[in-house]
Amino acid sequence: MARSPIWKSIADTLESEIGDGHYHPGDKLPSEAVLAARFGVNRHTVRHALAALAEAGTVRSRRGAGVFVAARPTDYPLGLRVRFHQNITASGRAPSRRLTLTETRAANAEEAEALHLDPGSPVHVVEGVSLVDGQPVAVFRSVFDAGRFPDLLQHVVAIPSVTAALAECGLRDYTRASTRLTAELAPAVMALALEVPEGAPVLRSVAVNVDAGGDAGGVPVEYGTTWFAGDRVTLTLRPEDGR
């Protein structure tokens, strides 16, 4: 009777231990050296087993940091009020973000049209990575009217929530006027930020948020583009919020 490859037996053992709760989502697995000593094999065999688990979506590798148990896909509701921190916290998970760019520059034609500004008007641009339980789930770019919110960037840097930063600028509420979803493949830089292979599927969301109760005729507040890692987020539409 043919024996299963040793790497597969190691992968099955680790998968079983993860399933039994020995390791939780976000936990770091023992190093290759530790696993090699445990199973009495060389590191190449362990590497093969971990690669199989990564391909199955059970674990994820972070360059220079190790191998971690993959988190379950995050349910992310799309409705009249889309609030990253509030939505993730309500699901019992830990939201965070890593800012990669905050700048004020001239609006391009697309941004100006979305925000009802004259081309070349000053806008604040905020880019970064959204994380859930420490795992990157999305790359985002948000564009705001700098004339309306002159102090926004300093609040965005100080407060880990765009909603709270806007509240500091006097805007207490805003709603989603439109969302367009398209599928794409992650280019190299985006894949690095999301910690996924280059060419992995991502879902691109282009949205406009407005004040004045969310009517499509309200004043635009934010023009945002988000690229969600396809295997880490489940986008849901709440019927009571859908329009």
CATH number at residue 45: 1.10.10.10
Report the alpha-carbon distance of residue 68 to residue 194 in Å, rounded: 14
Provide the residue type at 220 as one letter.
P
Token look-up 């936990």 returns: 27
- Whether residues 64 and 78 share a domain: the answer is no
φ, ψ (nearest 5 deg) of residue 230: -60, -30
- Tokens for 200, please give them: 């992995």
168-191: pLDDT as tens digits: 999 988 888 888 999 999 999 999
Does residue 137 contact residue 130 with C-beta atoms inside 8 Å? yes
Residue 166's pLDDT is what? 93
- Whether residues 32 and 89 share a domain: the answer is no
Residue 51's pLDDT is what? 92
Does residue 133 contact residue 150 with C-beta atoms inside 8 Å? no
Phi-psi domain of 96 (left: phi exceeds 0; alpha: psi -120 through 50; beta: other): beta
- Tokens for 169, please give them: 């600028």
190-210: pLDDT as tens digits: 999 988 888 989 999 999 999
- Whether residues 131 and 34 share a domain: the answer is no
Residue 236's pLDDT is what? 72
- Whether residues 65 and 104 share a domain: the answer is no
- Whether residues 26 and 62 share a domain: the answer is yes
Token look-up 């795992």 returns: 135
Of the three residues 29, 44, 69, the one that is the final residue of a domain is 69
For residue 199, is it within any domain? yes
- Whether residues 65 and 79 share a domain: the answer is no
What is the domain extent for residue 64?
6-69
Q: Please report which helix (H) or strand (E) contains residue 50, including its range.
A: helix 43-55
Of the three residues 69, 88, 115, the one that is the final residue of a domain is 69
Nearest residue to 206 (alpha-carbon basis) of 231, 232, 184: 184
CATH number at residue 198: 3.40.1410.10
Domain tally, the chain: 2
Helices (H), the chain: 6-19, 32-39, 43-55, 84-90, 109-115, 152-158, 162-168, 188-194
**Integer CA distances (angstroms), 37 to 34, 48, 49, 158, 172, in order:** 5, 15, 14, 46, 57
pLDDT tens string, the chain, 243 residues long: the values are 557 789 999 999 999 998 888 988 778 899 999 999 999 999 999 999 999 998 887 888 877 778 988 766 676 666 667 667 666 676 677 788 999 999 999 999 999 999 999 999 999 999 999 988 778 889 999 999 999 999 999 999 998 888 889 999 999 888 888 889 999 999 999 999 988 888 989 999 999 999 875 444 589 999 999 999 887 777 776 655 544
pTM over 0.85: no
